[in-house]
Chain A
Amino acid sequence: MKTTFMGYRRHDGRSGVRNYVAVVPTVLCSVSVARSIAEAMRVNVFPHEGGCGQVGSEKEHTLRVLEGVVSHPNVGAVLTVGLSCEQIDATRLLKAAGDKPTRHIRIHDEGGNAKAVKRGVEMVGELKKEIKGADKTNISVDELTIATQCGSSDTGSGIASNPAVGAMADKLIELGGAVIIGETGGLYGAAGLMARRAATKEIGDKIIAMTDRLEEYYKRMGHSLREGNPTPGNIAGGLTTLVEKSLGGVRKGGTTTIRGVLSPGERISGKGLWVMNTSHGIGSCAAADMLASGAQILAYTTGGGNPTGSPLAPVVKITATKKTVERLEDIIDFDASPVLLGDETVKECGNRMLEEMVEVAGGKIVQAEKTRHTVFAIGKVAL
């Protein structure tokens, strides 16, 4: 197996697998202008609904994720797009970018939307030039952090594609890399099992506590996390209990010891398997949290074929459902159906998947990058 790839060495010592230009609105009011700039220049945009009128943990969470974006090793240059009256201070945000080329515009200063778009387009042009031909260097696979997620799940997810991702995770960790598993609501029913796999009792307690906080949040709203979970679709598909659903989900993390628990969007600070509390956030909100940690690739299992990519990292779409591989060729990157059909063991599939991850790290473009279908969102609730 190839254990190195050509990637980008960043000033802070981390390594990136892409050299994206990021157009980052500092506030929801400037999302439309940011989007127009990014679309015109075919670079990546990070729309969100925060940046103003936020307090406490919600405000901190938005800033933490945006700092995770501008400092991210997959990002080579940053344009922030502000309004001028917002809560988030672009100057502070851009400090997180370190020595990367950056620009900042404010819609009020530029004289309106059209002028801001025009100026922003010019600036992205400059940034593209500045990072063009950036040196790539040989990087060891032990510098990879791979985040894991599942969506549009079906029977094959819990018994084939998630265990295969878990086997990939075990192998990557054996080679010295790191893996993140998140989706607090998803692991609710497996929290006890995960806690027993933690390196210390303190880490285990944190896993239980983060799921308790989410359940308390639902209770304050007069509801329960367990309401309608498993969903009617899950039950029709054969899932019987929430515990079964959660156990199928957490298999993405593999079988190694859990080294720590991260807050939503917090930077990862070690190797091995980490749990991120993605709190109330699902789908692209949870993906943004996990990737903001510095993870360079997202391994995403999907039965039905979830279409979402990320502007922060290549998202490798994995399915064990043959029908999905055949029908959704512009969505699926990796075919894990041989596991479900009995033609490949989980471990063999995990090794093959890690080889694919190393290829992607070295520049192989995934479907979501090819089709430019990316979704980015920052969750409003970070408990």
Chain B
Amino acid sequence: MVSEVTELAGKRRYVVVDDRDNVATVVEMLKEGEVIEAGMKNIKLLRDIPEGHKFALSRIPKGGYIIKFGEWIGRATAEIPVGDHVHIHNVEDIVDEVRKL
């Protein structure tokens, strides 16, 4: 299910593609320390998030799945706190796992 999580008013700064996702993709660079309204909660960004990159909407434990598009896109190689940058430094690919029928 594609959801329209962010407010439609004004310029959107990040996109949550599916309401099951635990990451959001930013549309423009967001700065470390910024507080972002995400649904019912406020998220303080722990690092700069460059345009097109992702931050965690909830805590992802080490070994937990990163969820985008409502699907698993990778596995956390370390615990990822809320508001942290989610990218190749803390995520591994799971291509063999998800390629099975």
Which A residues have a C-beta under 8 Å from some C-beta of B?
Answer: 154-155, 158-160, 163, 167, 188-193, 195-196, 201, 204-205, 208, 211, 226, 235, 237-244, 247-248, 251, 340-343, 345-347
Q: Which residue of A lies closest to B50 (CB)?
A: A238
Contact yes or no, B71 A155, CB < 8 A: no
Secondary structure type dominating chain A contacts: helix
Question: What are 30 pairs between A and B in contact, CB < 8 Å?
Answer: A155-B25, A188-B95, A189-B93, A192-B101, A196-B101, A201-B101, A208-B101, A211-B99, A238-B50, A240-B86, A240-B87, A240-B91, A241-B73, A241-B74, A241-B91, A241-B92, A241-B93, A241-B95, A243-B72, A243-B73, A243-B74, A244-B73, A247-B69, A247-B71, A340-B12, A342-B9, A342-B11, A342-B12, A345-B8, A347-B2
Q: Is B37 an interface residue (CB 8 A)?
A: no
Taking A155-B51, A247-B68, A343-B8 as contacts, is the C-beta distance between A241 and B94 under 8 angstroms? yes
What residues on B are CB-neighbors of A347 within 8 Å? Answer: 2
Distance in angstroms between the alpha carbons of A340 and B17 in the assembled complex = 10
Distance in angstroms between the alpha carbons of A341 and B27 in the assembled complex = 8
Contact yes or no, B15 A243, CB < 8 A: no
Encode B4-27 as 1/0 by CB contact (under 8 A) with A.
Answer: 101111111001010000000111
Total A-B Cβ pairs within 8 A: 106
What residues on B are CB-neighbors of A340 within 8 Å? Answer: 12, 15, 27
Taking A208-B101, A226-B95, A341-B12 as contacts, is the C-beta distance between A238 and B4 under 8 angstroms? no
- Select the residue from A167, A235, A241, A248 with max chain B CB neighbours within 10 A: A241
Encode B34-55 as 1/0 by CB contact (under 8 A) with A.
Answer: 0000000000000000111110
Taking CB atoms and an 8 Å cut-off, the chain B residues in 57-97 that contact chain A are 66, 68-69, 71-74, 86-88, 91-95
Distance in angstroms between the alpha carbons of A244 and B66 in the assembled complex = 10
Q: Which residue of B lies closest to A345 (CB)?
A: B4
What residues on A are CB-neighbors of B25 within 8 Å? Answer: 155, 159, 238
Contact yes or no, A154 B52, CB < 8 A: yes
Contact yes or no, A163 B2, CB < 8 A: yes
Partner of B101, one of A195, A235, A238, A239: A195
Partner of B74, one of A211, A244, A345: A244
Distance in angstroms between the alpha carbons of A163 and B93 in the assembled complex = 22
What residues on A are CB-neighbors of B66 within 8 Å? Answer: 240-241
Distance in angstroms between the alpha carbons of A190 and B93 in the assembled complex = 12
What residues on A are CB-neighbors of B26 within 8 Å? Answer: 238
What residues on A are CB-neighbors of B88 within 8 Å? Answer: 235, 240
Question: What 3 A-B pairs have minimum CB-CB distances, sorted nearest first?
Answer: A342-B12, A238-B52, A155-B52
Contact yes or no, A342 B99, CB < 8 A: no
Contact yes or no, A342 B7, CB < 8 A: yes
Contact yes or no, A238 B71, CB < 8 A: no
Distance in angstroms between the alpha carbons of A329 and B58 in the assembled complex = 40
- What is the CB-to-nearest-CB distance from B29 to chain A, in angstroms, rounded to a whole number? 11
A238-B51, A241-B95 provided; 12 other pairs, C-beta below 8 A? A155-B25, A155-B51, A160-B15, A188-B99, A192-B98, A201-B101, A205-B101, A211-B99, A226-B93, A340-B15, A342-B4, A342-B6
Q: Which residue of B lies closest to A207 (CB)?
A: B101
Distance in angstroms between the alpha carbons of A189 and B97 in the assembled complex = 10
- What is the CB-to-nearest-CB distance from B81 to chain A, in angstroms, rounded to a whole number? 17
- Select the residue from A192, A235, A240, A247 with max chain B CB neighbours within 10 A: A240
Distance in angstroms between the alpha carbons of A96 and B101 in the assembled complex = 38
What residues on A are CB-neighbors of B100 within 8 Å? Answer: 192, 208
Contact yes or no, B74 A342, CB < 8 A: no
Distance in angstroms between the alpha carbons of A343 and B98 in the assembled complex = 34
Contact yes or no, B69 A189, CB < 8 A: no
- Select the residue from B69, B88, B94, B100 with max chain A CB neighbours within 10 A: B69
Distance in angstroms between the alpha carbons of A160 and B4 in the assembled complex = 11
What residues on A are CB-neighbors of B27 within 8 Å? Answer: 155, 340-341
Distance in angstroms between the alpha carbons of A204 and B100 in the assembled complex = 10
Contact yes or no, B73 A237, CB < 8 A: no
